[in-house]
Amino acid sequence: MSELQIRPAVAADAAAIQALYIRVAEEGGGLARQPAEITTDYVHTFLTRSLATGVALVVERPDGVGLAGEIHAYSSGLQIFAHVLGELTVAVHPQFQGQQLGYRLFSALLANTRRQYPHVQRVELLVRESNGRAIALYEKLGFQQEGRLLGRVSVVPGQFEADIPMAWHAPL
């Protein structure tokens, strides 16, 4: 795993990020969007906002073909939420899952947030209640569950599950 280096994302990574997200979405359960919903506009929007007001990190695959992972979060732009980064999304290519890459990406995101945005006191995310593996990872990183948004996620027509809002709070 040591050959996988985390680096800041750049605008030129957009196509590789889109390909990664589509691949992860095809596996199911990891991303909220379906593959067809991962459009160029979607990626451009979150990448532009993350580069301007947040953090975006990527990990290139060792073979040089695409990305092994990506994580981003950004500010909403509202003054009352200036201390918050949200819209956090992480994607790890299925070939690299279970190798601590998600943990490394989150750790780097939180470290970069503290360094670049010392005024940020909170990083937020949402996770499906059925994604126990992700919840355990987030808790290991210091995120706390803050409730349950009942019936928020449509699993299949007529079947719903809760989203769990979680937040990391900067140490005092």
Q: Are 24 and 35 in contact (CB under 8 A)?
A: no
| Residue-level pLDDT at 1 | 44
Q: Are 167 and 143 in contact (CB under 8 A)?
A: yes
Does CATH place domain 6-121 in 3.40.50.300?
A: no
Q: Which residue numbers in the chain have pLDDT < 70?
A: 1-2
Q: Which two tokens stand for residue 55?
A: 């953090």
SS (H, E, C) the chain: CCCCCEEECCHHHHHHHHHHHHHHHHHCCCCCCCHHHCCHHHHHHHHHHHHHHEEEEEEECCCCCCEEEEEEEECCCCHHHCCEEEEEEEEECHHHCCCCHHHHHHHHHHHHHHHHCCCCCEEEEEEECCCHHHHHHHHHCCCEECCCEEEEEEEECCEEEEEEEEEEECCC
User: Where are the domains positioned within the chain?
Assistant: 6-121
Q: Which two tokens stand for residue 3?
A: 């050959």
Query: 17-27 pLDDT, tens per residue?
Result: 999 999 999 99
Return all residues near 82 (Cβ < 8 A) that are at least 6 apart. 75, 119
Count other C-beta atoms under 10 Å from residue 11's C-beta.
10
Q: Which two tokens stand for residue 113?
A: 């947030």
| Residue-level pLDDT at 13 | 98
